[in-house]
């Protein structure tokens, strides 16, 4: 016995390799001959050596099993491998037990070669069958036949296609489902390289090299390959999308082939496509509804000057009658008139009286759109169409589909875009910027302008064909000075509304107030009248004291009201249209002179007159007044044309 003196002779007689070690001192205290044979070294040489040298690179696992042994008294593991004298790794089945020691506890290790154990068990089973005689052997044969029969039943019953290939890629079997899906009989596929039959190219027809095929990769690498979407070809030349799993067949640790289970996913892909299209449509509708909601919220929060058409004059009665005639139709309407006369109010009245009232009225202020953004604003754009187009955008025409599009200040549309606008009016179709897809819409167009579009067309500044397309049904929005009988009604309406808005007690107009309002010629029309009333309510006490003189240019550096035209002779003389134009011209010249010829910006003529800059520019152009001459000081005066 090769052991320290305190160990008995029985240790050498153990039928399995064994050793005793001091785990704290990392020393082998005893080792039996079988362990020496397993390691390939004499026992005398191994005594006193470090235990960890036998388990190189496995210190962590060795510590784990020894700690478990000391804690529980015994342990078992198949994770350690012994390093033999020839540096061969011997995989072990290890049993350990704790032994008492004089100073520190010792550990007994019983080591079994797992490969030898497997061989012994196989021999034992063979001997068992031999000892069982012929009946037992027949029973085993019948068991295998039953298993094969059950496998065949399974292969025939499953709905997935299943086929096998050997290490050369040749077909070894195919189940009925594979035959149905591929259009080949199993006997026609046997022995053929199936990749060249059903998997030779991609869905687009491009070649699929055999070396890149995941099915063959399974038995080359010995790893299961799962492919979510690929393409198989049928015997008739048609193809279909598939998902499949290729599982390697192993023999003694070596791959010898693979079993492929595949499924036709045509219906699934079609359902996914329909779902994606449905989701895209839902997303598009959601985006459109969001835009419509944002637009309608903007409209609701905006301060509209009119809530209904107020008036009893013949001019108003004529407008109301025309609205009643054209609203039920889909005819395009062109509303003309000066700024502040209520052109948008007429457009809203037409829309509300039409069959499109349940769809939105989308308003576009053409004067407020930068020239290079007109097309995107009208027709929308796709992501990446131009710098800054970070997402798809729906245009105003698409947003107004089924409803009404109100083009305010239509005369401001650039000439180069008018042709595209004409096409939409004629054909009700367009393309988004950057997109080739033609979109169809059903939109009614109502346009408004304070320009003379007929004259603009004659001057080649507006397309004549577009003018006639818009001017199917013209409506003139009459200026306030031509319907003075409506002024008291409008003034009281604005007065009541302003009192509610500014939380003031109700106020009433006096006869003198009405007379003052009627004698004023209102170049800013109804918008100007509303502004005057609101201003008077803000400054009023318990009673309204209407005083238009306080808004004269002499009294304020930023006038909102132009004073009433002076009486030329007798007090009751009526002013002709030429007189009014002359007075308006003189007033505009005074404003330009005070602003030193500037129309736009702070302290400009438009701000002094309380008019939109585009409106003032249009009036100056109409009256042939050139602000540059005043800036240059060349002497265009009030008396010069």
Q: Give pLDDT, residue 215.
A: 87
Residues paired with 446 in a beta bridge: 333, 406
Q: Residue 130: its pLDDT value, please?
A: 57
| 273 pLDDT more than 70 | yes
Share in percent of the chain as helix, strand, coil (round to 5): 45, 20, 35
Residue 247 has pLDDT above 50, yes or no: yes
Lowest mean pLDDT among 63-77, 81-95, 137-151, 363-377: 137-151
pLDDT given for residue 563 in this prediction: 42
pLDDT recorded at residue 332 = 94
**In the prediction, which pLDDT does 479 show?**
92
Average pLDDT value for residue range 286-296: 66
- The mean pLDDT of 143-158, rounded to a whole number, is 55
285: pLDDT strictly greater than 80 = no
What are the structure tokens assigned to 108, written together?
Answer: 């007994």
What percentage of the chain reaches a pLDDT higher than 90?
24
The answer on pLDDT for 511 being more than 50 is yes
State CA 511 to chain mean position distance. 62
Please state, in angstroms and rounded to a whole number, the distance separating the CA atoms of residues 57 and 69: 20
pLDDT at residue 138 in the model: 52
Residue corresponding to tokens 């306030």: 480
| pLDDT for residue 5 | 47
The pLDDT tens digits of the residues spanning 108-130 come to 999 998 888 888 887 777 666 55
CATH class entry, domain 9-116? alpha beta
| pLDDT tens per residue across span 428-482 | 999 888 888 889 999 999 999 999 999 999 999 999 999 999 999 999 999 998 8
Q: What is the mean pLDDT of the chain?
A: 81
Cα distances (Å, whole numbers) of residue 446 to 222, 406, 424, 472: 73, 5, 13, 10
pLDDT at position 576:
63
Strand partners for 201: 207
pLDDT of residue 607: 79
Alpha-carbon gap, residue 290 to 394, rounded angstroms? 11
pLDDT at residue 555 greater than cutoff 80: no
- Mean pLDDT to the nearest integer, 482-498: 89
Summarize the confidence of residues 391-400 as an average pLDDT.
85
Q: pLDDT higher for 562 or 264?
A: 264
Q: Is the pLDDT of residue 410 over 90?
A: yes
Q: What is the DSSP string of 333-344?
A: EEEE--TTS-HH
How far apart are the C-alpha atoms of 483 and 319, rounded to whole Å?
12
Q: Can you give the pLDDT at residue 569?
A: 38
Report the CATH number of the 155-264 domain: 3.30.450.20
Contact between 232 and 198 (Cβ < 8 Å): yes
- Which residue has better confidence, 613 or 333? 333
Question: What's the pLDDT score for residue 296?
Answer: 60
pLDDT at 8: 56
Domain span(s) for CATH 3.40.50.300 in the chain: 303-478
| Least confident segment among 16-20, 463-467, 504-508 | 504-508
606 within 8 A of 616, measured Cβ to Cβ: yes
Q: How is domain 303-478 classified at the CATH fold level?
A: Rossmann fold (3.40.50)
Q: How much of the chain exceeds pLDDT 70, in percent?
A: 83
User: Helices (DSSP H) in 107-182: which residue ranges?
Assistant: 114-157, 176-182
Flag whether pLDDT at 546 surpasses 80. no
Residue scoring higher pLDDT (537 or 385) = 537
Q: Provide the pLDDT confidence category of residue 303 given band limits of 50, 70 and 90.
A: very low
Mean pLDDT lowest for which of 8-12, 353-357, 565-569?
565-569
Per-residue confidence band for 338, with pLDDT thresholds at 50, 70 and 90? very high
Chain Cα centroid distance, residue 21: 68
Joined together, the tokens standing for residue 158 give 């499953």
- Position 1 scores a pLDDT of 43
Does residue 142 have a pLDDT over 70? no
Instruction: Reply yes or no on whether the pLDDT at 600 is more than 90.
Output: no
Whether the pLDDT of residue 267 is over 60: the answer is yes
Residue 494 has pLDDT above 70, yes or no: yes
The CATH fold of domain 565-641: Arc Repressor Mutant, subunit A (1.10.10)
In the chain, list all ranges with CATH 3.30.450.20: 9-116, 155-264
Please state, in angstroms and rounded to a whole number, the distance separating the CA atoms of residues 390 and 394. Answer: 13
User: For residue 373, what pLDDT band results from cuts at 50, 70 and 90?
Assistant: confident
Q: Judging by DSSP bridges, how do beta strands 473-476 and 333-336 pair with one another?
A: parallel
Q: Are 169 and 210 in contact (CB under 8 A)?
A: yes
pTM: predicted TM-score of the whole model, two decimal places: 0.47
Q: Give the per-residue pLDDT at 121.
A: 81
Task: Identify which has the larger pLDDT, 75 or 511.
Answer: 75
259: β partners: 164, 247
The pLDDT of 586-609, averaged and rounded, is: 81
Q: State how far the Cα of 81 lies from the Cα of 53, in Å rounded to an integer.
A: 12
Q: Start-end ranges of CATH 1.10.10 in the chain?
A: 565-641
Mean pLDDT within 501-516 = 85
The pLDDT tens digits for 68-99 are 898 899 999 988 888 777 777 888 999 999 98
What is the pLDDT, as a whole number, of residue 553? Answer: 38
How confident is the model over 612-624, as a mean pLDDT? Answer: 80
């Amino acid at each position: 016995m090769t052991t320290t003196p305190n160990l008995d002779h029985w240790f050498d007689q153990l039928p399995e390799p064994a050793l005793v070690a001091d785990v704290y001192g990392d020393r082998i205290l005893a080792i039996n001959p079988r362990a020496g044979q397993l390691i390939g070294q004499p026992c005398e040489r191994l005594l006193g050596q470090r235990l960890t040298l036998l388990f190189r690179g496995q210190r962590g696992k060795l510590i784990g099993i020894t700690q478990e042994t000391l804690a529980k008294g015994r342990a078992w593991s198949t994770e350690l491998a012994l390093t033999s004298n020839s540096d061969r790794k011997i995989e072990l089945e290890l049993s350990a037990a704790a032994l008492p020691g004089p100073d520190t506890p010792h550990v007994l290790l019983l080591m079994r070669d797992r490969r030898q154990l497997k061989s012994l068990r196989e021999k034992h089973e063979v001997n068992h069958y031999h000892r069982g005689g012929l009946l037992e052997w027949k029973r085993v044969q019948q068991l295998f036949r039953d298993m094969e029969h059950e496998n065949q039943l399974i292969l025939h019953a499953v709905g997935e296609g299943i086929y096998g290939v050997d290490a050369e890629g040749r077909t070894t079997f195919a189940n009925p489902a594979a035959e149905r899906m591929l259009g080949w009989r199993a006997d026609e596929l046997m022995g053929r390289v199936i990749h060249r039959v059903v998997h030779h190219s991609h869905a687009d027809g491009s070649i699929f090299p055999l070396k890149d095929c995941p099915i063959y990769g399974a038995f080359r690498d010995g790893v299961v390959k799962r492919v979510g979407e690929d393409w198989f070809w049928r015997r008739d030349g048609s193809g279909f999308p598939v998902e499949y799993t290729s599982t390697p067949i192993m023999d003694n640790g070596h791959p010898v082939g693979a079993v492929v289970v595949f499924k036709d996913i045509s219906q699934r892909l079609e359902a996914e496509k329909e779902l994606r299209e449905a989701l895209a449509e839902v997303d598009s509708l959601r985006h459109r509804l969001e835009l419509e909601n944002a637009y309608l919220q903007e409209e609701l929060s905006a301060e509209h000057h009119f809530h209904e058409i107020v008036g009893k004059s013949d001019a108003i009665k004529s407008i109301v009658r025309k609205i009643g005639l054209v609203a039920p139709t889909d005819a395009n309407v062109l509303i003309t008139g000066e700024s502040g006369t209520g052109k948008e109010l007429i457009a809203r009245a037409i829309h509300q009286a039409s069959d499109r009232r349940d769809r939105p009225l989308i308003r576009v202020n053409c004067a407020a759109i930068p020239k290079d953004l007109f097309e995107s604003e009208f027709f929308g754009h796709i992501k990446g169409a131009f710098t800054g187009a970070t997402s798809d955008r729906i245009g105003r025409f698409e947003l107004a589909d089924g409803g009404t599009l109100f083009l305010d200040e239509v005369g401001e549309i650039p000439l180069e875009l008018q042709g595209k606008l004409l096409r939409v009016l004629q054909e009700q179709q367009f393309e988004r910027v950057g997109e080739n897809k033609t979109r169809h819409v059903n939109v009614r167009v109502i346009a408004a302008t304070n320009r003379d579009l007929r004259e603009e067309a004659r001057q080649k500044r507006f397309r004549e064909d577009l003018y006639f397309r818009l001017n199917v049904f013209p409506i003139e929005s009459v200026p306030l000075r031509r319907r003075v009988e409506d002024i008291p009604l409008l003034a009281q309406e604005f007065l009541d509304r302003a009192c509610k808005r500014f939380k003031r007690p109700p106020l009433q107009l006096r006869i003198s107030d009405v007379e003052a309002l009627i004698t004023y010629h209102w170049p800013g029309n109804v918008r100007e009248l509303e502004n005057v009333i609101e201003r008077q309510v803000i400054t009023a006490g318990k009673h309204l004291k209407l005083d238009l003189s306080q808004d004269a240019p002499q009294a304020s550096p930023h006038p909102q009201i132009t004073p009433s035209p002076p009486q030329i002779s007798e007090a009751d003389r009526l002013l002709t249209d030429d007189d009014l134009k002359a007075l308006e011209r003189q007033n505009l010249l005074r404003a330009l002179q005070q602003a030193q010829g500037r129309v736009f910006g702070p302290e400009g003529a438009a701000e002094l007159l309380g008019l939109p800059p585009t409106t003032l520019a249009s009036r100056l152009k109409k009256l042939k007044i050139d602000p540059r001459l005043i800036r240059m000081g060349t002497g265009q005066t009030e008396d010069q044309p």
